[in-house]
Each structure stands twice: as C-alpha cells, then as structure tokens.
C-alpha cells in the first residue's frame, strides 16, 4: 500500500490557517455578540478541528473506512452536545430570585 506524500507547503498553509483562526478566536472574545457568542466560538473551534484532523492526522488521504470512522466520531460528539443542551439552556430557570 503506497503512502501519500504531503508537501511541506501544505503543512505551512494549514499552520497559517490555524494561526489566523486562533487570532480570530482572540479578537471575537472582545466582542459581545449576545447569544451568538457560543455559536461563533464553536464554529471557529470546529474549523480548527477539521484542519487538524484532515491534514495533520492525514484523514484527507486515508481510505473511505477511516473517513467513516472519523465521521462517526464527530456524529457521536454532536449527539453528546444535543444531550447536554437541555441542561445548559435550563440552568437559568432554577436560579433563586434572592441571591445567597
């Protein structure tokens, strides 16, 4: 089985993209977007994770079976997020009216 050889320029471009996304994360932390703060933060985090998984873990050049397992992992993470969301959303419902 032949291995795919990735040129170093690809890794430099991915590193540059990760650096830009990190700077964007820091800049977005200074803006108050209200309820969109978690959405923007998760979107940037997902983009960074995709770059790392696709290029540094070489999933982009792997077999279809590897891609299926990676997709199943992300699907499982999505299930976990949706299972946690009702608790996260309803936390303010039980806040006492008088602070302790």
Residue 81: the pLDDT is 87
Q: Where are the domains of the chain?
A: 8-94
Contact 18, 52 (CB under 8 A): yes
Residue 98: the pLDDT is 65
Q: Is 94 helix (H, G, I), strand (E, B) or coil?
A: helix
pTM: 0.73
pLDDT by residue (tens digit) across 46-64?
999 999 999 998 888 889 9
5 has a pLDDT exceeding 90: no
The residues, ordered by sequence, that sit 6+ positions from 53 with a Cβ below 8 Å of its Cβ are 59, 70
């Amino acid at each position: 089985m032949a291995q795919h050889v990735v040129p170093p320029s690809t890794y430099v471009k991915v590193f540059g993209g990760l650096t830009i996304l990190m700077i964007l994360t820091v800049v977005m932390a200074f803006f108050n977007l209200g309820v969109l703060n978690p959405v923007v933060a998760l979107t940037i985090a997902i983009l960074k994770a995709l770059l790392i998984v696709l290029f540094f873990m070489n999933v982009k050049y792997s077999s279809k079976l590897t891609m299926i397992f990676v997709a199943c992992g992300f699907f499982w993470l999505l299930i976990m997020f949706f299972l946690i969301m009702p608790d996260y959303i309803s936390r303010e419902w039980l806040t006492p009216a008088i602070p302790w």
